[in-house]
Amino acid sequence: MPVDPLIAPLLAAVNARQEQVPLDVAERRAARSGDYSGFVEDEPAVAEIWEEKIPGPDITVRIYRPAASTRGAMVLYHGGGWWMGSPDDSDRRARAIAGRAGVVVVNVDYRLAPEFPFPTPAEDAYAALAWTVAQAGRLGFDPARVAVGGESAGGNLAAAVCLLARERGGPVPVLQVLEIPALDLTLGSPSVKTYGQGYVLPEEELRWCVRTYLGDHDPADPVASPLHAADLTGLPPAVILTAECDPLADDGRLYADRLAAAGVPVTFREFAGHVHGSHTLTRLLPSAREWRAAVVDAVVSHA
């Protein structure tokens, strides 16, 4: 299926900007993509939003607590290729989950490459999960009902956290929600070539992000590439949502297949006509609102 016609004008604008992408990380961060907030719906009001520091890694988390009593929580990791981004980028997603699912959301400002390359972002993500579970009594939710989730690089970190929690005997999430996740940093998935040019996330840019994050580290390390983990048994139930016209599309599909083969309950859906990141355009696309509803429903069912 071709790209959704409602997305096409935005895609053309993104492609035009990518012709002048600077090489320096600082310049890239300053020259971030255009503001599409006008295409994103406002989310329900959340009673309390504040920030705290996690000791140890000394990272900041933004906490969203809804007015109604909550059962569980979700630890959320923003996207940005492991080298850019902040809780501001996932703020509306956090508000949607907190307000619509009625859970506490902990939105994590993990440290970024290249200043903090692999495995620091993954370790920060794991530390945020452990901290969240430890704060359950104070924050008012059941510590046995904590989910993790994220978009793109954040989806990668959420999957890595589940592997680390299983291996370390730490708090295991009740659910992992992986949206447009990057799960194979060897970039061996067929969709990298199929959609690696002209669909928001060029293959060249994707390879640059991986080099910036990993340096000389083995991209097949399971913490970097959960798809390459030898054993996926015992992991939390997963909801994996991908965009059809995305170089990362096959990562999610292949991981869903492997989880299912390992006996892990998994729900997989590929959204036709979507590109990388278009799932956030809830004011523009009915299918983006459907995508958001799938995330909220999953959190309601588990957390």
The per-residue pLDDT for range 234-291, each reduced to its tens digit, is 999 999 999 999 999 999 999 999 999 999 999 999 999 999 999 999 999 999 999 9
- The rounded percent of the chain whose pLDDT value lies above 90 is 85
- Cβ pair 272, 279 in contact under 8 A: no
57-69 average pLDDT score: 91
1-14 average pLDDT score: 87
33 a catalytic residue: no
Q: Which of 78, 228, 274, 276 is catalytic?
A: 276
Is a pLDDT exceeding 80 seen at residue 9? Answer: yes
pLDDT band at 23 (very low <50, low <70, confident <90, very high): low
152 a catalytic residue: yes
pLDDT band at 37 (very low <50, low <70, confident <90, very high): confident
Task: Determine the angle formed by the axes of helices 91-101 and 286-302, rounding to 10 degrees.
Answer: 60
157 or 44: which leads in pLDDT: 157
* HEC per residue, the chain: CCCCCCCHHHHHHHHHHHCCCCCCHHHHHHCCCCCCHHHCCCCCCCCEEEEEEECCCCEEEEEEECCCCCCCEEEEECCCCCCCCCHHHHHHHHHHHHHHHCCEEEEEECCCCCCCCCCHHHHHHHHHHHHHHHCHHHHCCCCCCEEEEEECHHHHHHHHHHHHHHHHCCCCCCCEEEECCCCCCCCCCCHHHHCCCCCCCCHHHHHHHHHHHHCCCCCCCCCCCHHHCCCCCCCCCEEEEEEEECCCHHHHHHHHHHHHHCCCCEEEEEEEEEECCHHHCCCCCHHHHHHHHHHHHHHHHHC
Q: Which of 91, 109, 246, 250 is catalytic?
A: 246
Q: Which of 152, 189, 278, 287 is catalytic?
A: 152
pLDDT band at 28 (very low <50, low <70, confident <90, very high): confident
pLDDT band at 34 (very low <50, low <70, confident <90, very high): low
The per-residue pLDDT for range 101-155, each reduced to its tens digit, is 999 999 999 999 999 999 999 999 999 999 999 999 999 999 999 999 999 999 9
pLDDT band at 184 (very low <50, low <70, confident <90, very high): very high
User: 6-10, 218-222, 297-301: which range is least confident on average?
Assistant: 6-10
Is a pLDDT exceeding 90 seen at residue 26? Answer: no
Mean predicted lDDT score pLDDT of the chain? 94
276 a catalytic residue: yes
Is a pLDDT exceeding 70 seen at residue 99? Answer: yes
24-28 average pLDDT score: 78
**Amino acid letter for position 113:** A
**Cα-based angle 246, 99, 146 (whole degrees, multiple of 5):** 75
